[in-house]
Chains A and B, each alone.
Chain A
């Protein structure tokens, strides 16, 4: 921040530029929040998902249960999404 302040004072950056870069930073943060949580959910769901498909192939009745187990890690990306939306709006 000190650098930005000196840069503004020195006339190298205008206030508009600083505001624009702040918006960009926010967007970047939101992207990281959604992106990284999405990857995390994906990694967590791969193992559960493949096991779930196997179990369903053996016994169709477990479909409801394995669906529950498969979507448990989705919570992570939901939190990421909420964080991103809070950052942006």
Chain B
């Protein structure tokens, strides 16, 4: 654990450099990308769950689409949490795998959704993503600390 923490700052620095130097045509500025990347990586590292973020159209049946995305999100899907948002449709979906759902009950997800939609309604995409991820990782807690209880 200590070792992981020691590697934290270097990972952050690395992240920032790549985000700034790589060109991007997406909806986010370099600064936003750096923040999102940091939030994704840190929350994944803290909780031991794998957080992925999808931004784009979710089709007509947004839930089914998000669940299909979750099923092919790579890694171990049961340990994966997918945050999918479709700004065009103004829909946000959080999908948890079987192992992740034990750590992140639906109520915790709903709370994160509430936080995020509040910011999304104000047009703050990056803030919504970063704060939503932070709230999700806070709810999930640390794997070893949870095991101790």
Do A and B originate from a single complex?
Answer: no
| Residues of B in contact with A (beta carbons under 8 Å apart) | none
